[in-house]
């Protein structure tokens, strides 16, 4: 049984990339680690799911038909393992304990995903980083994030993005896009709202876990949302 607040933070692989959109930018990694530390220091149990788009994205890898989609997705899952161990190194570098648990077994690199083991690590105050998505092709790392959040009995899912919430239209394309502070799960499933894919939103809805979307480059933003419960700068998808 969990005894303290638990959150699952989802970072996109692209968020870790350098300015060329590829690989890992260690300054960003360090920044993310410090943001995570503010939660651990406030007695919050932190799990992390990270994407792999800074190396390979399954859909794109399979784009011209040479590589099959299933293989492309497995390649993408492998790239999330690279990012997961990088996050582990970064949080350990600032004094936190961390374990990487992977949905695809690579025992030389990290532990296999076992729900009860992950729970135990959280109870011990370790930052648990889930790697290799759900371990299955055709599922996104957003879906992995929701699945792991449900399994870890997280109180909230936090989606780190480059914008400060959910807009009615793409704010990068439309200057008059309006930010939506609160949405229902059904609102979030509408075609023009691209917050997470439908599978992940449906799973969050079924399990009544709120999804908070925030700008990961803001200062102390994670603490503000999770510890201070100040939602003024993010958007929330929840049961209305
Ligand atoms: P507790 O027993 O709850 O304290 O957890 P623990 O993770 O410290 O225990 P364990 O002795 O299982 O693990 C010790 C170290 O080995 C940790 O850094 C684990 O991440 C690592 N470890 C455990 N299992 C595996 C594995 O299958 N593969 C790899 N690469 N590392 C593992």
pLDDT by residue (tens digit) across 125-178? 999 999 999 999 999 999 999 999 999 999 999 999 988 999 988 888 899 999
The number of the ligand 1 atom at minimal distance from the alpha carbon of 108 is 30
**Which pLDDT score is estimated for 104?**
98
What distance in Å separates the CA atoms of residue 163 and residue 93, rounded to the nearest whole number? Answer: 28
- Nearest CA to 158 out of 235, 90, 95 is that of 235
Whether 1 is covered by a domain: the verdict is no
Whether residue 111 contacts residue 104, with contact meaning beta carbons closer than 8 Å, is answered with: no
Torsion angle, alpha carbons of 198, 199, 205, 209, to 10 = -110
Q: Which atom of ligand 1 is nearest to the CA of 109?
A: 30
- Classify residue 215 as exposed, middle or buried by CB count within 10 Å of its CB (0-12, 13-18, 19+): middle
Number of domains in the chain: 1
Q: Model pTM?
A: 0.95
Cα angle 70, 71, 77 (rounded to 5 degrees) comes to 90
Residue 94 binned pLDDT confidence (cut-offs 50, 70, 90): very high
Tell me the average pLDDT across 79-91.
98
Closest approach atom of ligand 1 to CA 124: 3
pLDDT tens digits for 20-69? 889 999 999 999 999 999 999 999 999 999 999 999 998 888 899 999 99
Look at residue 79 and tell me whether its pLDDT is greater than 80. yes
Question: Average model confidence (pLDDT) for the chain?
Answer: 95
The answer to whether residue 66 sits within a structural domain is yes
Q: Is the CB of 108 under 6 A from ligand 1?
A: yes
Phi, psi of 79 (to 5 degrees): -70, -30
- Rounded average pLDDT over 191-205: 91
Which residue CA neighbors atom 26 of ligand 1 most closely? 111
Does residue 109 line the site of ligand 1, with CB under 6 A?
yes
pLDDT of 134 reads 98
Which structure tokens are listed for 35?
A: 């943001």
105 phi and psi, to 5 degrees?
-75, 120
Q: What is the 3-state secondary structure (H, E, C) of the chain?
A: CCCCCEEEEEECHHHHCCCCCCCCCHHHHHHHHHHHHHHHHCCCEEEEEECCCCCCCHHHHCCCCCCCHHHHHHHHHHHHHHHHHHHHHHHHHCCCCEEEEECCCCCCCCEECCHHHHHHHHHCCCEEEEECCCCCCCCCHHHHHHHHHHHCCCCEEEEEECCCCEECCCCCCCCCCCEECEECHHHHCCCCCCCCCHHHHHHHHHCCCCEEEEECCCCCHHHHHHCCCCCCCCEEECCC
CA gap 91, 217 in Å, rounded: 17
Asked whether residue 84 is assigned to any structural domain, the reply reads: yes
- Residue 1 in tokens: 């049984």
Q: Is residue 56 part of a domain?
A: yes
Q: Answer yes or no: is 200 within a domain.
A: yes
Domain boundaries, position 210: 6-238
Position 1 scores a pLDDT of 64
pLDDT at 179 over 80: yes
Mean pLDDT throughout 68-97? 97
CATH code of residue 144: 3.40.1160.10
Dihedral (Cα; 203, 165, 49, 117), 10-degree rounding: -60
111 lines ligand 1 (CB under 6 A): yes
User: What's the alpha-carbon Rg for the chain, to the nearest Å?
Assistant: 17
């Amino acid at each position: 049984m969990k005894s303290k607040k638990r959150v699952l933070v989802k970072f996109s692989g692209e968020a870790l990339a350098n300015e060329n959109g590829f690989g890992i930018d260690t300054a960003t990694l360090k920044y993310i680690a410090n943001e995570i530390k503010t939660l651990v220091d406030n007695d919050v149990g932190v799990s992390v799911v990270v994407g792999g788009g800074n190396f390979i994205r399954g859909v794109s890898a399979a784009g011209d038909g040479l590589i099959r989609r299933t293989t492309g997705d497995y390649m993408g899952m492998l790239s999330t393992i690279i990012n997961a161990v990088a996050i582990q190194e970064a949080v350990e570098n600032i004094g936190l304990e961390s374990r990487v648990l992977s949905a695809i077994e690579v025992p030389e690199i990290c532990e296999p995903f076992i729900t009860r083991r992950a729970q135990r690590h959280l109870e011990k105050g370790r930052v648990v980083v889930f790697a290799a998505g759900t371990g299955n092709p055709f599922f996104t790392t957003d879906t992995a994030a929701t699945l792991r959040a449900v399994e870890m009995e997280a109180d909230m899912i936090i989606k780190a993005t480059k914008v400060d919430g959910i807009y009615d239209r793409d704010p990068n394309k439309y200057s008059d896009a309006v930010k939506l502070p609160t949405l229902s799960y059904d609102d979030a499933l509408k075609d023009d709202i691209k917050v997470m894919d439908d599978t992940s939103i449906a799973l969050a809805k079924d399990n009544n876990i709120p999804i908070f979307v925030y700008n990961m480059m803001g200062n102390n933003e994670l603490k503000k949302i999770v510890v201070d419960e100040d939602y003024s700068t993010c958007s929330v998808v929840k049961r209305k």
